[in-house]
């Protein structure tokens, strides 16, 4: 439950991290690191291209320092926890967290989600979130590719990607979401997810498909998950990592250096409305 006692006292950030990490150990994430495999297969640059795409799609420039940090994680030179703690220290982020009544909410008179650093300035929060999400994405990309792609795994990706910043990471939204289109109402998310991921399981997570069939089905499921939009924020990045890993498990790859963010956004919106052709066209150019 996201609702807590109003009399809750301050909780140290280090305690929050320990609790979060102990919980993550029970999430459905396969665990062995595969840095050596990535190096032999030339995967490091491909993973950097993927993270760079996400970063720039969020409106940020991908600096040399950020690329260097990501590369160090991918090559196994440093672990993600160390980099995130160093970022907290160097940016003097608050290390105490006062849980509000509703951890899925935004702070009053702001558009900033409740976060462990009590940051209310949206621009600053987005920078912190982007850095930590990138580091965690790199960490997940060093692990053995998952072979079961269900709703629990999607939620676990969201929790790992954003759990350093938000207590709501991995939790299903309870409010209506709409941007340029209307997404699934919160009361129907679980049942809709059951339908989507049951069908994906019956399709064997798109394994052993020829390229044309794979791309057509991938476009369909990407559109379905985009329409589901199960989280308060971070849906696009979570879904992209989910389907990137699914593609690799199915024997394909995605060249993110070729993806145009604006074109992908338009294709996603069309797919939500049931027109998958734009998304199929995008995937035709980047699935290898």
**Taking all residues of the chain, what is their mean pLDDT, rounded to a whole number?**
88
* Degrees, nearest 5: CA angle 155-204-134: 35
Query: Which of 115, 207, 190 has the alpha carbon at shortest distance from 154?
Result: 190
- Token digits for 283? 């995937």
Name the CATH architecture for the domain at 11-286.
Orthogonal Bundle (1.10)
User: Which residues does 233 contact at the CB level (< 8 Å), separation at least 6?
Assistant: 113, 162, 166
CA 207 from centre of chain: 22
The average pLDDT across 34-40 equals: 44
Query: Which of 237, 76, 37, 248 has the alpha carbon at shortest distance from 145?
Result: 248
Query: Which of 284, 279, 272 has the alpha carbon at shortest distance from 196?
Result: 272
Cross-strand partners of 96: 12
pLDDT band at 23 (very low <50, low <70, confident <90, very high): very low
For the residues of 62-124, what is the DSSP string, one character each? --HHHHHHHHHHHTTSS-HHHHHHHHHHHTT---EE---SBTTSBPTTSSPBP-TT----HHH
Q: What share of the chain is helix, strand, coil (3-state, %, to 5)?
A: 55, 5, 40
pLDDT band at 221 (very low <50, low <70, confident <90, very high): very high
The average pLDDT across 1-9 equals: 37
Q: What is the pLDDT of residue 166?
A: 98
User: Which residues does 235 contact at the CB level (< 8 Å), separation at least 6?
Assistant: 226, 229
Q: What is the pLDDT of residue 32?
A: 41
Q: 47-79, pLDDT tens digit by residue?
A: 999 999 999 999 999 999 999 999 999 999 999
Q: Over 50: is that where the pLDDT of 38 sits?
A: no
Question: What are residue 254's phi and psi, to 5 degrees?
Answer: -125, 125
Domain boundaries, the chain: 11-286
The average pLDDT across 186-193 equals: 98
Q: What is the value of pTM for the model shown? A: 0.86
- Token digits for 190? 């679980």
Q: Over 60: is that where the pLDDT of 7 sits?
A: no
The C-alpha atoms of residue 129 and residue 190 are separated, in whole angstroms, by: 26
Q: 96-117, pLDDT tens digit by residue?
A: 898 988 999 999 999 999 999 9
pLDDT band at 21 (very low <50, low <70, confident <90, very high): very low
């Amino acid at each position: 439950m996201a609702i807590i006692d109003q009399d809750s006292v301050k909780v140290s950030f280090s305690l929050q991290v320990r609790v979060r990490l102990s919980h993550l150990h029970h999430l459905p994430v396969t665990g062995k690191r595969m840095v050596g495999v990535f190096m032999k297969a030339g995967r490091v640059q491909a993973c950097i291209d993927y993270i760079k795409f996400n970063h720039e799609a969020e409106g940020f420039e991908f600096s040399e320092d950020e690329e260097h940090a990501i590369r160090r994680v991918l090559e196994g030179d440093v672990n993600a926890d160390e980099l995130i703690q160093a970022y907290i220290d160097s940016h003097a982020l608050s290390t105490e967290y006062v849980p509000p009544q509703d951890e899925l909410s935004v702070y009053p008179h702001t558009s900033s989600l409740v976060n462990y650093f009590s940051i209310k300035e949206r621009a600053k929060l987005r920078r912190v979130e982007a850095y930590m999400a990138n580091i965690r994405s790199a960490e997940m990309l060093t692990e053995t590719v998952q072979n079961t792609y269900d709703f629990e795994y999607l939620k676990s990706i969201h929790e790992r990607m954003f759990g350093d910043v938000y207590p709501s990471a991995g939790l299903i939204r309870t409010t209506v979401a709409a941007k340029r289109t209307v997404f699934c109402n919160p009361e129907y998310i679980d049942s809709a997810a059951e339908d989507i991921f049951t069908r994906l399981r019956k399709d064997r997570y798109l394994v052993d498909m020829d390229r044309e069939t794979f791309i057509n089905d991938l476009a369909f499921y990407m559109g379905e998950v985009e329409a589901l939009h199960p989280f308060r924020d971070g849906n696009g990045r979570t879904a992209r990592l989910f389907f990137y890993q699914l593609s690799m498990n199915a024997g394909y790859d995605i060249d993110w250096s070729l993806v145009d963010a604006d074109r992908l956004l338009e294709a996603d919106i069309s797919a939500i409305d049931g027109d998958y052709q734009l998304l199929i066209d995008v995937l035709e150019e980047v699935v290898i």
